[in-house]
Homo-oligomer: A and B are copies of this chain.
Amino acid sequence: MTRKIITGYSNPTIKFVRSLRDKKHRRRERRFLAEGLRLLTDARESGRLPELLLMATGREAHPLLDDLEQAVAAAGGDVIEVPLDILAKVTGKDNPQAVCGVFVEWDTGLSTLDRAAAPIWLVAQAMRDPGNLGTMLRTADAVGAGGLILIDDCVDPFSVEAVRASMGAIFTQHLAQARWSDFLVWLRGGPGQLVAASLREAVPYRGAAYASPCFVMVGNESRGLPEDYEMACDLRVTMPMKGRADSLNAAVAAAVLAYEVLAALN
């Protein structure tokens, strides 16, 4: 196996990889970055390989890294060694991981989803925080959901921060992006119960009549869900709020609700 070695920061490949930290370039190139051996191993085990693998020179040897390198090369991808300081600049971290990969984005249309494949789906509307989005993917994996559907203008799920927060679930969970009106048409084209945490005409979240496939929806971090979105739901549920605040962090609300749905459907 041959490896390329790049030692200069101005190398076009390095510039290209670095550019993928910006959403604009990700959209244009339809590619994104994932960092760290654990994340890249999760990807490999989920059948996703980077088309380009960057490894730091002088990294510690690791059998999983050997496996990854061989798989990328066998699939026709590029394996490149770079000095650690260049890798640090690419990934923008002071303490960079010793490995980073460039992945081709995949289709995130609603038509790629098979709603019958799982009893729970998570839905986020206008979610702005990449950490929350990645955390929702991670929660979706944990509750055995089919995936995450992003409604309206959400933060980019392929951002470095969201990919990192997903702890690998970006590679295992299905992901769709749609406008609200298109989502509603798709949803009503088959079985599916749309559930939102709400204060409007809501029933207690414990003991509510959840039904599979159940689509658990949370809204924007600051504004919550628009009222007409809530009213379009099949079920509105409310969680106890014992303190001064009237809402939970969006990713937390989705998780508490999703675990309740999981228990109810089992």
Residues of chain A touching chain B, judged by Cβ–Cβ distance below 8 Å, are: 42, 45-46, 131, 135, 138-144, 165, 167-169, 172-173, 206, 239-245, 247-249, 251-252, 255-256, 259, 262-263
A165 CA to B46 CA, complexed, in Å: 33
A241 to chain B minimum Cβ distance, whole angstroms, is: 5
A238 to chain B minimum Cβ distance, whole angstroms, is: 12
* Contacting residues, chain B, for A249 (C-beta < 8 A): 135, 138-139, 165, 251, 255
Q: Which of B144, B165, B240, B251 has a CB less than 8 Å from the CB of A243?
A: B144
* Contacting residues, chain B, for A241 (C-beta < 8 A): 142
Q: Which 8 A-B pairs have the closest CB atoms?
A: A144-B242, A141-B243, A252-B255, A135-B249, A256-B259, A142-B241, A141-B245, A172-B244
A165 CA to B42 CA, complexed, in Å: 29
Q: Taking CB as reference atom, which chain B residue is nearest A141?
A: B243
Query: Given known contacts A251-B252, A252-B251, is B245 in contact with A138 (CB within 8 Å)?
Result: yes
